[in-house]
Every structure is written in structure tokens, then in C-alpha cells.
Amino acid sequence: MGFPTGLTDEPRKSLLCKARGIGSSALRLKGVSLFRETEKAPKPEFVYSAPQVNINPFTPDSLEIQTSAGLCRRRKRPHLNDSCGEDLEGSDGEMEDEDLRPAKRITITESNMKSRYATEFHELEKIGSGEFGSVFKCVKRLDGCVYAIKRSKKPLAGSVDEQNALREVYAHAVLGQHQHVVRYYSAWAEDDHMLIQNEYCNGGSLADAIRENYRSMQYFSEPDLKDLLLQVARGLKYIHSMSLVHMDIKPSNIFISRSTVPNSAVEEGDDEDWGSKKVVYKIGDLGHVTRVSSPQVEEGDSRFLANEVLQEDYRYLPKADIFALALMVWCAAGAEPLSSNGDQWHDIRQGKLPPVPQLLSQEFIELIKLMISPDPEKRPSSVALVKHPVLLSASRKSAEQLRIELNAEKFKNALLQKELKKAQIAKAAAEERALFPDRMTTRSTTQSSRTTRLIGKKMNRSLSLTIY
């Protein structure tokens, strides 16, 4: 049976064909005229149009996504007749290795859209500014929640900063699922500027807290320093487990969330009850993130940069994060602002710590010195750091102390309950004597008689024998 009379458009397609996306939107026909089923149609030449998507280089399944999205040129096979009744160039999904070609990357300009920022968000205030751009505290009009939105300072399209901006988006998308990494929500481009919607941390940055400490001459205590070190180390452990490195750990890139973390968020193997915490530290600003293997290193702040990275020795990149973490914690301890060069810079790279205005335990100082060892192999890994006895002993001691205090309060409460019960019984007895004195006298006599009979029962009775 031919097509219905009067049908002039292209032949109807089954739902299966439509689901496969075969049509003018995905395939372009060259030199093919309309024909009836009884007529022999010329072989159509199909030109495949690949979807325009970016491939995230930080995901382990990048090639798989690239393949499944049809971003690789398929090997040509003889023409086959498709089950939908259309002649298609056959493809069984096999590809020639030499034909694997990455898709063209979408530029900032190509992904531009109307002002989503003004439409979806209400700007409250500017909360920060850095080398890349400015950060604004905003309320999303739809859900009423507060977010931090980072906007590039200058247009990125075609600039050297465009790749760095995309790298930050890629890293946020991959790493935004940990309690010690700032959560990522979305990113888009407007007017050739990149905008990134992230979690809002209501405690500001660690750099803000350190500056306030300098002004007030009050510094992080040793338990607080250990807590800071342990939390950020857990964030680095997560990043390193993804075969990535941060490469820009410093106070301004650590953000503070002053809220409790539910007990369900406790990591397996952690001894600490995170439900009792009031301050959570989160790693942010992922613009320098790179792979451990085949890295593309963009050097971060020179004040926190390990010497081997400066010498372009990239064999121990995770240990460079450990080096920067140690110096960041030392700044929180009250050390003077670090220099970008000079004698102090070289002394630190030789394992010498600058003085701090407080007394710290020798075991904690030795741990910090180990983390800045000139030999990166001697520095502890993030995995070893979160299990280090200096850090875990403090958390265990704190938890044990809380348990001791809780048990003491329970014991005091039990004693008070006992005393209260005694007082209530005595009060009830006194009130009854005052209201019913006669009854109390009768009750007293009865009780005395019962006591006498009770005593009599326990006495030896005399035996008498009567002989008839």
C-alpha cells in the first residue's frame, strides 16, 4: 500500500523512529525526492549532526559519554534497510580507534542566554571579591533560599581566562557532593561573563576570621586548630580520592558554615559526633583544580606554594595540598602574614615555622613541621592525616569528656529525684495527720496491737499436758 493520496510532506514515521531522533533535526537528506513505496528510491546520503555539549575532563567516564552522545565518527558500513521503512546508512555502534574525535567545545559566547541572574535571583549584597570575579549573596525568587553567585569581573569569551572558568565549573560539578566542599548548583553565561551558583556559607571565609583575630589579639586555640585541620583534611581526602588536586589551599578559599551537621552525614569510620559541631569548614574556589595524572598546573598563591611545584616537579601534587594546608592552619594559630618571597619564604621551605603568639603542644607542632617537610614523600597523605593520632586523640578526648559530664548529670538527676520523692511522702503524711488526728490515733493503736501479736507469734509458747 502506498502513502495516502495528496500527502506531500515527508513520509510519516513510527514512534520508534521519532524516539530515535531520526529526522530533519538530526539527519540532513541530500538530493532525495519524495517517492511512493512502489517506486525505487535513490540511496539517501545522511550527514550526522553531533549534539553540542561540553565533555567534563574531570569525570572518569568522559570517553563513554563522548561515545554515547554520538560525538565520535562512526565507521561506515553498507546501506541497510531500517525497520522503520527508511534506507539508512547502517551502523552497529562500532568505531574505528583512529576516528575518535572529541567534540568541539562550546565557548562562552555560544552558551550565552538572557539574564537569568536578574530573572531568577534577587541580589542582597556583595560579599567578596577576588582575582576571578565578585561573589554576591542572592535569594532565588522561586525557592526563597540564599545562594552565593560568583560572577567573572570581565568578559571571558576568547580570553585566556575562559578555560580556567570552565575548569572551575567542571571541578564544582564533580566535587560538589561532600560536606567539606562548597556545594555546587549550576553555572551559566551572560554577556560573555561566567556565573556560578554555589552554596552560601553564612560564616564568611577563614581569611575573614583570621583578620578579625589579628585585630582582637585572640587566636584559634589548639583544639580549634586541630578541628580546622581535621575538617579540611577530610575535604582534601575526598578531592584526592577523585584523582584530583586543589592546588590553591589558603584561608580565603576555606569557607565557614555556622550550622550543625546531622548525624546521618557522619562519614564511615569517623569517631566524632558531627551532630554536635557548630562550625563546618568547606573548601571552595576550585579554579586551580587539576588531575593528578597528566596535570595542567596553574600555580596558586606563592605564599602557600610548595617548592617542588615551583620547580615544576609534579610527581607529588597531593602533597602540595598538604603543604598549603599546614601553612593555612599556622596562619590561624596567629603567625604573622606570610611573605611571597624573601628569607621567611625560604626558611619555611626548609621546614622552619615562623613563631606564633601562643603555647602549643609539641606533638601538634611536630605534625605541622612534618606537613611542610622539604621532602614531599615524608609529608602525610590526606588519608593518613585524618587518622593521625594527634588529631583523633583530641576528638576522642572531647567525646569522652562529654560522656563523663553526661553521666555525672544523670547521677545528680537521679539523686534529686530520690530526694524529691522522700519529701513528697513526708509532706503527704503531715497533711493527713493535720486533717484527721483521731484516725491517725486509731491507726497508731491498731498498728501497735499488730506489732504485739506479731511479736507473740515469734515467742516460744508453753506446753501443758492434761492426763485424764
Whole-prediction pTM: 0.62
- Per DSSP, the residues of 138-188 read EEETTT--EEEEEEESS--TTSTHHHHHHHHHHHHHHH--STTB--EEEEE
pLDDT on residue 168? 87
pLDDT of residue 447: 58
Any idea which of 131-140, 151-160, 337-346, 364-373 has the lowest mean pLDDT? 151-160
Q: Which three-class secondary structure state does DSSP give residue 436?
A: coil
For 63-109, strand residue ranges (E) read 79-81, 87-89
Q: Residue 31: what pLDDT? A: 45
At residue 213, the pLDDT reads 93
Q: Which residue has the higher pLDDT, 145 or 429?
A: 145
> What does 195-237 look like in DSSP terms, one character per residue?
EEEEE--TT-BHHHHHHHHHHHT----HHHHHHHHHHHHHHHH
pLDDT at 368: 97
The pLDDT of residue 37 is 46
- Greatest Cα pair distance, the chain, in angstroms, is 148
- pLDDT reported for residue 171: 92
Q: What was the pLDDT predicted at 13?
A: 46
pLDDT in tens, 15-32: 333 333 444 444 344 444
Which residues line the annotated binding site for Mg(2+)? 253, 285
What pLDDT does 324 receive?
A: 97
Q: What is the pLDDT of residues 369-420, one digit of tens each?
A: 999 999 999 999 999 999 999 998 655 555 555 567 677 778 888 888 888 8
Say whether 438 is catalytic. Answer: no
Task: Work out the average pLDDT over 177-184.
Answer: 93
Average pLDDT of every residue of the chain: 76
The pLDDT of 443-467, averaged and rounded, is: 54
| Annotated binding-site positions | 127-135, 150, 253, 285
**H or E segment and range at residue 134:** strand 133-140
Average pLDDT rounded to a whole number, residues 212-231:
93
Binding residues for ATP: 127-135, 150
Sign, CA dihedral 114-116-120-121, equals negative
Residue 136 has pLDDT above 80, yes or no: yes
Give percent of the chain with pLDDT exceeding 70: 62
161, 192, 227, 248: the catalytic one is: 248
Residue 87 has pLDDT above 50, yes or no: no
Tell me the backbone φ, ψ of residue 223, rounded to 5 degrees: -60, -35
Q: What is the rounded average pLDDT of the residues 36-40?
A: 49
